[in-house]
Amino acid sequence: MQPKVIIDTTGGTIESEQSEKGIAPKKRGFKTVVISEQRFPYHEICRYDSTDIDDRIRNKKIGPTIAKQARDGYNPVILHGTDTLADTTGVMDYNLYGNNRRIVFTGALYPPDVTQSDAEINKKDALTFAMRGYSRSGVFIVIGGNVLSSFLWGKHNWRPHDPVLELLRLSAMKKVFLMNMRLNCTSHLNLLQ
């Protein structure tokens, strides 16, 4: 039987759009979201830029919401900004230790309405990992086609680690992501020359 999955958002680039003031968190008015022809419950925990998320928000809003959803039998997928993603997952990993659910965080380096955005593929990868029937539980980050532990990721330096988790890598999706990143990097380098 496939695990129940719920999508939570805290804001961040993955749930933002371009505005006159730069990137701004997007207001969502719906309770479900359809991704790859599957319907998932959608819950807004908060709507902050991740640089505004501190331990008070993590412990008063994000943590209790995720803990309740895990007790209700869900594998939560949390959409979060990348600036403090490692901080939030570290706090959740500590506070929710021993939880028997898979709690998956993801983010994006570009908002969904930008051509080179990684938002949709990271959401799909996170949902795929949350829905799979692996026996491994805990707090994970799924980004760039990789499944990572919270303590090994930072916005500007992430690396695959644990050999067990390496088997769970989403290799086909990673190839597409890396190919797109190479194209984007090449175009940025050409602009600099």
Topology at the third CATH level for domain 4-192: Rossmann fold (3.40.50)
The residue type found at 115 is T
Helices (H), 2-58: 55-57
Which residues have C-beta within 8 Å of that of residue 184, sequence separation ≥ 6?
Answer: 116
Nearest to 55 by CA among 4, 19, 10, 91: 91
Which residues have C-beta within 8 Å of that of residue 178, sequence separation ≥ 6?
Answer: 144, 145
Element (H, E) at 93: helix 85-95
| Bigger pLDDT: 144 vs 77 | 77
Query: How does pLDDT run across 56-114, given as a tens digit for each residue?
Result: 999 999 999 999 999 999 999 999 988 888 889 888 888 888 778 889 999 998 888 88
Phi, psi of 11, deg, nearest 5: 105, -145
Q: Which range among 25-29, 164-168, 180-184 has the greatest average pLDDT? A: 25-29
Q: Is 37 left (phi over 0), alpha (psi -120 to 50) or beta?
A: left
Q: Strand, helix or coil at 85?
A: helix
Question: Would you kindly state where each structural domain of the chain is located, as residue ranges?
Answer: 4-192
Quick one: pLDDT band at residue 168, thresholds 50, 70, 90?
very low
pLDDT tops 80 at residue 175: no
Segment 115-131 mean pLDDT: 89
pTM for the whole thing? 0.75
| Bigger pLDDT: 91 vs 136 | 91
User: Tokens in use for 88?
Assistant: 């939030």
Measured between alpha carbons, how far is residue 191 from residues 5, 22, 162, 185 in Å? 42, 22, 37, 10
Phi, psi of 116, deg, nearest 5: -85, 20
Query: How does pLDDT run across 44-68, given as a tens digit for each residue?
Result: 999 888 889 999 999 999 999 999 9
Which pLDDT value is given to residue 28? Answer: 64
**Average of per-residue pLDDT values in the chain:** 76
